[in-house]
Chain A
């Protein structure tokens, strides 16, 4: 899933300073699962904003609304009937959802309440961890199912570096060294000979480096009337 963090209250307060009526828009997908921008978090942020405003002798009207998704127009369009009653939208979706909401309402100010961080998994309740960077050319079959692009601080393809120590990464003693995990897993799979193969320089053109990416499935497209 896509994981994000809610921005600090002060930063959001600063962004909404000019506005008295805002639409606070949550998303019911990944950002709900990682407890950053779902219905619950929308409620919490709305109360915090109102309290702060009141403390400073001001007022703010907030409409709380959580969409099924902010990455599909059909859901975003559900706010059409009332969106114009508000001066700005504060979106609690991931970076994709925030942008798509803005794209749908070009004349509306759309502000981000979430810092989108990574593609990851739930390790345990309340703990999420990065797994993938969407490089566009997966090599997990070579690395025992552990991604060196996302999980090695240097994205080394032939690691580990000399800083790997007691299974931890040189960058942070709380972070496992991806290459220690890879070697352990290859051993467990009886594939340590894979380690001896040199992984060649990566083609980064399938990644963000090649420019923004679009995926098309022609067979699924609805033909446009000519």
Chain B
């Protein structure tokens, strides 16, 4: 084991891991974090804590991680390259490790034009692949980017996101290869609705042997309605929602669409679990955290292993 991470431990035991997500509140109320945490307690093996997702200002990801850690979670600290240069990034990594955070998810971050401060300056001193490498260098070589040695190395399980559906498709597996080369231990994918296309991507991933070098957790997001499905298809860049899914949701009465969405999500998890190289599932139920327990249970993934 490289770290004290719970998900690393379970992956090493060969368990199919389950992670979920908790978005920090738009205010300084710690209770809001705990409330979301309570919905996920004993339901999942690790909780991602988003870093000013969609560029909307929220409570700091690291602070929220610490609150969840105090509740007994093993948080997955998301860190984006949008807001910090390499000085702040390295410093925050050391601080996170000192606070007992065991997992980091390295991301580029959404562009600030999507959020509530579109006039902000972005940083992007380094990109997500360079960030992965930075964490690895700190952890495994005990060195700062500047070359100096550090006293006390941060033991973080290194994750990254990957979108198998973004363009250009032909480099998606290659790009995962770059992340693995940079030092990535696990991957959480963008939410999958097109299982067929995902399987094809996984085939390419296996061809390159990447599934053996990093654990791939397949991302899912339950759809609340046919309207949400249509919206995502149309407005979220790099999101592949097949028409058949939208039609299936539209075919049930409005008041039952959410339940149908959960059903689809559970079916999807069962399918994804069968794909060689998929080592777990990442359930992103944004502002719908109360449904995660139900999904995990219905997918036959409950209770979680100790």
Query: Mask for A136-159, Cβ within 8 A of B = 1, else 0?
Result: 000000000000000001111111
Do A195 and B174 form a contact, CB below 8 Å, given A156-B124, A170-B111? Answer: yes
A189 at interface, CB cutoff 8 A: no
**Which residues of B have CB within 8 Å of A184?**
168
Which chain A residue has the least Cβ–Cβ distance from B127? A156
A160 at interface, CB cutoff 8 A: yes
26 A-B interface contacts by CB (under 8 A) = A153-B111, A154-B81, A154-B109, A156-B127, A157-B129, A158-B127, A158-B129, A158-B175, A160-B167, A161-B108, A162-B163, A162-B238, A164-B168, A165-B167, A167-B167, A171-B111, A171-B113, A183-B168, A192-B171, A195-B174, A198-B133, A200-B133, A201-B125, A201-B130, A202-B125, A202-B126
Give the size of the chain A interface in residues (CB under 8 angstroms): 33
- A:168-188 near B, CB below 8 Å: 168, 170-171, 177, 179-180, 183-184, 187
A166 at interface, CB cutoff 8 A: yes
- A:38-87 near B, CB below 8 Å: none
**Which residues of B have CB within 8 Å of A156?**
108, 124, 127-128
- Which listed residue (A153, A157, A162, A183) contacts B190, Cβ 8 A? A162
- Report how far A162 CA is from B239 CA in the complex, Å: 9
- Report how far A154 CA is from B126 CA in the complex, Å: 10
- Report how far A179 CA is from B109 CA in the complex, Å: 16
Task: Assess the B111–A155 pair: CB atoms within 8 A.
Answer: no
**Which residues of A have CB within 8 Å of B175?**
158, 160
B82 at interface, CB cutoff 8 A: yes
A19 at interface, CB cutoff 8 A: no
Interface-forming stretch among B35-43, B176-184, B193-201, B222-230? B176-184
Task: Assess the A195–B127 pair: CB atoms within 8 A.
Answer: no
Task: Assess the A200–B130 pair: CB atoms within 8 A.
Answer: yes
A8 at interface, CB cutoff 8 A: no
Query: Mask for B106-138, Cβ within 8 A of A = 1, else 0?
Result: 001111010000000010111111100110000
A18 at interface, CB cutoff 8 A: no
Task: Assess the A163–B238 pair: CB atoms within 8 A.
Answer: yes
A196 at interface, CB cutoff 8 A: yes
Task: Assess the B113–A196 pair: CB atoms within 8 A.
Answer: no
Task: Assess the B130–A163 pair: CB atoms within 8 A.
Answer: no
Task: Assess the B111–A201 pair: CB atoms within 8 A.
Answer: no
B290 at interface, CB cutoff 8 A: no
**Which residues of B have CB within 8 Å of A179?**
168
Q: How far is the CB of B146 from chain A (nearest CB, A)?
A: 10
Q: How far is the CB of B136 from chain A (nearest CB, A)?
A: 12
Task: Assess the B237–A165 pair: CB atoms within 8 A.
Answer: yes
**Which residues of A have CB within 8 Å of B238?**
162-165, 170
Task: Assess the B168–A160 pair: CB atoms within 8 A.
Answer: yes
Task: Assess the B124–A154 pair: CB atoms within 8 A.
Answer: yes
Given contacts A158-B129, A166-B167, A183-B168, 18 further A-B contacts (CB under 8 A): A153-B111, A154-B81, A155-B127, A156-B108, A160-B168, A160-B175, A161-B108, A162-B161, A163-B237, A163-B238, A164-B168, A164-B237, A165-B167, A165-B237, A171-B111, A184-B168, A198-B133, A204-B125
Which chain B residue has the least Cβ–Cβ distance from A200? B130
- Which listed residue (B130, B166, B174) contacts A157, Cβ 8 A? B130
Task: Assess the A201–B145 pair: CB atoms within 8 A.
Answer: yes
- Report how far A119 CA is from B128 CA in the complex, Å: 27
Q: How far is the CB of B275 from chain A (nearest CB, A)?
A: 20
Task: Assess the A160–B127 pair: CB atoms within 8 A.
Answer: no
B243 at interface, CB cutoff 8 A: no
Q: How far is the CB of B126 from chain A (nearest CB, A)?
A: 5
**Which residues of A have CB within 8 Å of B178?**
158, 196, 198
Query: Mask for B42-71, Cβ within 8 A of A = 1, else 0?
Result: 000000000000000000000000000000
